[in-house]
Structure 1
Amino acid sequence: MIKVARGVLLAVLPAEVVLVILTVAGVRLPGPVLVAVEVAVALMLLLEAVTLHRLFRAARREGAGRRAAFGTALRRLVPVQVRRLLGFELRSMASLGLWVTRRRHGVPRGATAVPYAREQSSMLLVLLFLAVVETVAVELLLGALGVPSGVRLVVLVLDVYGVVLVLALWAACATRPHVVTERELRVRYGAHFDLRVPRDLISSVRLARAFDERGTVTVADGRLGVAVSSQTNVVVELSDPVTVVRPLGRTEEARMIRLFADSPALVLDALRSPTA
């Protein structure tokens, strides 16, 4: 039943979004179409509610409290990829507030923060400029073509949201640096990746520059790469593998970590210093 509920959710919600966009844009839809979509949405909500209730009761029978049972039911119902994508956006948006107030996330007192966002700043600046230019150009073009104001409003909102997402990515990378504490090395990339490595598992750390990384977060043959602009410059060797949770939830094992730091010497010095 969970698979059916997930399938219905992924099928009906996009249709409802399209319906809302068309309605806001002033498009007149036949009455039967509106009724059919609304009935489908109502049935979907009913199915999701019934499924969620059953999962909640099952968790309660296993001894979970109400809050824990609800969380368990929600995790079982909503695909992990969807939950993680929503989490990325929420954390990235929250990073905008940290950026404005010049604060950093997850850097305790006495820890060493290791920034990594400087190398991609020029690329993000270009991307932001292009997004703003596109927003203005599309709005002017639609206005010149006499497109209805409802359609223009929808397109404008989507374009502005795209601009905000670029800013949020920039903010997330700036406010969520790598962190070295007495107990662990925390390797991050914005709001999309977060790995904690106990320092007693680190057997060696060295400077090693690479300019051909194929992705931002990659795992291959037990080697984790967390790159910035296709670059890494620090290699951390581990005595035992750690479990890596990739951005969309898949897990891998890694015994070597390649990461990028604006100042690699900062990582080397912090990890080579004796722990308490």
Structure 2
Amino acid sequence: MNRPSARAAVWAKGVAEALVPLVARRLVRHEVRALHSLGLWVLRRRHQVPEGALAVAYTGPQTAMMYGMIFVSVIETVALALVIPWPVVHAILLVIDLYGVVLILALHASCVVRPHVVGSDGSLRVRYGALFDLRVPAATIAGARVDRRYPDGRLVRLSPDGVLDLAVGSQTTVTVELTEPVPFVRPLGRRGVARTLRFHADDPRAAVAALTRARTGVAPDPSAAPQ
């Protein structure tokens, strides 16, 4: 009895993949994960941070902007409620606006509950909410340093020489040199290969210290000036 149901599930999955474009499927998946993260945020839990690992927060540069967007969305909702006289149209726009507020809050929540992770073995997991997730094995990390840079406004940027920037608030604070290229997937499904990784951490010194300690057994000098 399990075989027909399994075949039906595989067939349904194949039909869905054929009918729904990859970008649309990924957007829906990101949205579901963000809403799940909102629940974790309410429960004060984090997503997949193993015991003994260091959770590295990165939401500092965007927190004020996120709450500002929520405030503007709420004001817009109230204004439309006063301007639009048609009850049906008002109800539809109210649902859309309120769902938009929930999605903005869910995006921020997903970044809070899905921090970067430095594993006890020296591995690194770099994330941006439910949109980006890159795992870097410890063996491929050659070194890490505090390195504040200001790339362009895109979330993910790959330079021709293989430098991957994952910026928050148009800035990165940690640079990780790799011993070999590491593949990654962009939020909408495109693939790339990174040879150097730059990302933002609210406390870059702690992240670099954890990566260095796991790799060499010795933490870097905290008095050393960042590059």
Coarse TM-score class (shorter-chain normalised) = 0.7 to 0.9
Aligned residues: 210
Taking only aligned residues, the RMSD between alpha carbons, in angstroms, comes to 1.9
- Larger mean CA deviation between 177-186 and 80-89 belongs to 177-186
Q: How does 1:135-154 map to 2 (within 5 A)?
A: 135-142=77-84, 147-154=85-92
Preserved contact between residue 174 and residue 200 of structure 2 (Cα < 8 Å)? yes
Q: Does structure 1 conserve the Cα–Cα contact (< 8 Å) formed by 2:122 and 2:211?
A: no
Which sits farther off after the overlay, 76-85 or 119-128? 76-85
Q: TM-score, normalised by structure 1?
A: 0.72
Q: Gaps spanning 5+ residues in structure 1: where?
A: 1-59
What is the aligned partner in structure 1 of residue 131 from structure 2?
192
1:129-168 equivalence runs, <5 A: 129-142=71-84, 147-168=85-106
Deviation track 1:37-85 (CA, whole Å, cap 9, x = no partner) reads xxxxxxxxxxxxxxxxxxxxxxx9xxx9554454344334422111100
SS in 1 for 2:106: helix
Per the alignment, in what secondary structure is the counterpart of residue 273 of structure 1? helix
Partner of 2:63: 121
Separation (CA, whole Å) in 2 of partners of 1:136 and 1:96: 24
Structure 1 residues 198 and 156 mapped into 2: Cα distance closer, same or farther (>3 Å)? Answer: same
| Secondary structure of the corresponding residue to residue 158 of structure 1 | helix
Match of 2:47?
105
What is residue 239 of structure 1 aligned with on the other side? 179
Where does residue 206 of structure 1 map in the other structure? 145
Query: Helix, strand or coil: the match of 1:229?
Result: coil
Deviation at 1:178, TM superposition (A): 0.3
The alpha-carbon deviation at position 141 of structure 1 amounts to 1.1
Q: For 1:269 and 1:72, locate their aligned partners in 2 and report how far apart those are by CA, in whole Å.
A: 46
For 2:155, give the aligned amino acid. Answer: T
Can you list the C-alpha shifts for 1:173-202, whole angstroms capped at 9, x where unaligned?
111000111252110001110111111001
The reply on whether 1:74 has 2:16 as its aligned counterpart is yes
The answer to whether 1:170 aligns with 2:112 is no
Counterpart among 258, 262, 265 of residue 198 in structure 2: 258
The offset of 1:205, in angstroms, is: 0.6
State the alpha-carbon separation in 1 of the partners of residues 152 and 174 from structure 2: 13
Which structure has the bigger radius of gyration?
Answer: 1
Structure 2: which 5+ residue stretches go unaligned?
Answer: 218-227
AA matched with 2:189: G
Find the aligned partners of 1:76 and 1:201 in 2 and give their Cα distance: 36
Q: In percent, how many aligned pairs have the same letter?
A: 47
* Segments ≥4 residues shifted beyond 6 Å: none
Looking at structure 2, the residues matched to 86 and 77 of structure 1 have their Cα atoms a distance apart, in angstroms, of 14
Q: Could you tell me which amino acid in structure 2 is paired with residue 252 of structure 1?
A: G
Distance, in Å, in 2 between the alignment partners of 1:150 and 1:79 is 32
Contact 1:213–1:232 (Cα < 8 Å) also in 2: no
- For normalisation by structure 2, the TM-score amounts to 0.87
Shift in alpha-carbon separation, 1:80–1:183, aligned structure 2, 3 A? farther
